[in-house]
Structure 1
């Protein structure tokens, strides 16, 4: 890429791909969530993500470019990690904690992308695009904060309690077996 404008467009395509991938994966995560609060958070984020895709499409219109994604290896990797957690976690509370962590990793990626894109839009004298990007950036930060609160107030506590009880049972069986 020879110019900041081309880099901006390329990164915009990257995040467009990422948002589309998120829309594909959030329903799967919502179905796998055992916590009603986590399921609700994932379902709420679907609607929010649809609005974010719409904002990106508005920016593509400003650039007179077709909204087209560019494969994003970072998002593919984050989605793969989430899929592994959903498949491998045997305890539903541990699965919820893993899915929530995967969702936060996605939010952190998006926060960095939208912050960068907004700064570049400022440099490229695209105030309308910068405003749209900052609106999405704020939503991503708000979602991250909500997920953090959910992790601290419910999800991580339940996962620890469930696995702590299992660890305690294993230790008791081991001591009993050793005594016999």
Structure 2
């Protein structure tokens, strides 16, 4: 489908982030199992629950606005998920892997923060007030997860990795 209007672009971007969130629900349990820092493992588990709620919000938005999502795969998220798999396969379980997983997770969060910020701007332009509200709630969660990951890294996740090398 050609993206010739802001609405077309909004539907495309929303479909893309929907795919991204679905992919994350598959990656987070793997990342939680690979983490040795209990705070990090718990953060991944908590974000999995949050992500499921974010998917529900997108479903709500679609239903309320009468939009129809496109079936597509977010290739950007596919690449980010693949990076986390490579880390898990290539690095021995421990502090270094935990540091890598924090970085991988923050790349995901930054992608999502950019995506939701863009969607909010488009929804405002399209006058989709309920969509703006739902998307803002998700953006707040994504930013909070990014902050939580930074705190885990600063509280020793990355420090332990430095000491073990």
For structure 2, which runs of at least 5 residues remain unmatched after alignment?
none
* Number of the residue aligned with 1:107: 109
27-36 or 66-75, which moves further after superposition? 66-75
Structure possessing the higher radius of gyration over alpha carbons:
1
The two structures, once aligned, show a CA RMSD in angstroms of 1.1
4+ residue runs over 2 A deviation = 62-69
Structure 1 unaligned runs (5+)?
164-180
> Cα offset for 1:60?
1.3
TM-score normalized by the length of structure 1: 0.87
Q: What are the Cα deviations for residues 87-121 of structure 1, in whole angstroms up to 9, with x where unaligned?
A: 10125111111011000000000000000000100
The separation in 2 between residues aligned to 1:19 and 1:145, in whole angstroms, is 19
Q: How many residues align?
A: 163
1:18 corresponding residue in structure 2: 20
Q: Of residues 131, 141, 144 in structure 1, which corresponds to 2:143?
A: 141
Please name the residue that 1:161 is paired with: 163
Which of 1 and 2 has higher RCO (CA within 8 Å, sep 6+)?
Answer: 2
Name the TM-score, length of structure 2 as normaliser. 0.95
Q: Which deviates more, 55-64 or 14-23?
A: 55-64
